[in-house]
Structure 1
Amino acid sequence: MTSKAASMKTSFVLSAIAAFGVLAAPVFAQEQQMQNDGTARSKVKPARLIEFTGDREFLKESSRLRVWRGEVGYTLEVDAAGTPVDCELAEKFRMNYVNDKLCEVLMKHHSFEPAQDSSGAPVEGSYEGRLNFMDIRAKG
């Protein structure tokens, strides 16, 4: 590669990096502002897991559905009474049936203290978790 070609390549790479920085800066600034905006959302105490009692059921359902992952990440939406009302897997399976069945087990076997607003009143919230199959098997 000639020095002129190398110089052009370096110039192109530096221009691309600079352009990315210019484009990413407003997004980063907006995220920072949203986190520190003083709104009620930033003052909510999140839902706290009391217990998950579905280790055996989750393993059984995963085996039945032929789930071959090392772990499953998920987010549960929790109502103001502390009851899970919705579930989403972090990495969805191709078949919605598998996603739905695993979420049924997750929602049935989690119990929470509800999220609280700044005055301590219960509000809707969410909980993010991960289940590792090796850890679950080791417990059983």
Structure 2
Amino acid sequence: MNFALLLAPIAALAVIAAPALADEKAQNDGTARSKVKPARLIEFTGDREFLKESSRLRVWRGEVGYTLEVDAAGTPTDCELTEKFRMNYVNDKLCEVLLKHHSFEPAVDDSGAAVESSYEGKLNYLEMREKD
């Protein structure tokens, strides 16, 4: 029996499986990042303002996704829309409303200390109009 023929498939399998095993190990590595309790949304009070600004800017989408960076005090500090509009002005104006009208409980690490984090959300125009 030729061992080279037998070892070739085993070596190929090892090369394919190694990245998957390494990736699984990285997800359960016990780092601080994996132990952070994320920021929790307290409330968003800007439905009316967001609808008004969107109308003024002629935004024609069913929903807008966004990510907010939240500092250790629970204050949103930066905003990025998931699907940006062509004009930066539109992105900036919608983000201004999002930053102004969100409030959060800050994220905490495993020791209970407040830390920076991010929050991902979506606003659906139909749902906001039904509330109004």
Query: Could you say which TM-score interval applies, normalised by the shorter chain?
Result: 0.7 to 0.9
1:136 — aligned with what? 128
| Matched residue type, 1:67 | V
Percent same amino acid at aligned positions?
Answer: 79
Q: Secondary structure at the match of 2:121?
A: strand
Structure 2 SS opposite 1:94: coil
- TM-superposed CA distance for 1:28, in Å, is 5.2
SS in 2 for 1:72: strand
What is the aligned partner in structure 2 of residue 39 from structure 1?
31
Paired AA for residue 72 in structure 1: V
Which residue identity lines up with residue 40 of structure 1 in the other structure?
A
Deviation (angstroms), 1:36: 1.5
The normalised TM-score by structure 1 is: 0.79
Q: How far is 1:32 from its partner? A: 3.3
Q: With the length of structure 2 as denominator, give the TM-score of the two structures.
A: 0.83
Deviations 1:16-39 (A, max 9, x none): xxxxxxxx9776555433322210
Which aligned pairs between 1:40-119 and structure 2 lie closer than 5 A? 40-119=32-111
Q: Secondary structure at the match of 1:68?
A: coil
Superposed CA RMSD in Å reads 2.0
In structure 2, runs of 5+ residues without a counterpart are 1-15
Deviates more, 1:57-66 or 1:27-36: 27-36
Q: Who is 2:8 aligned against?
A: none
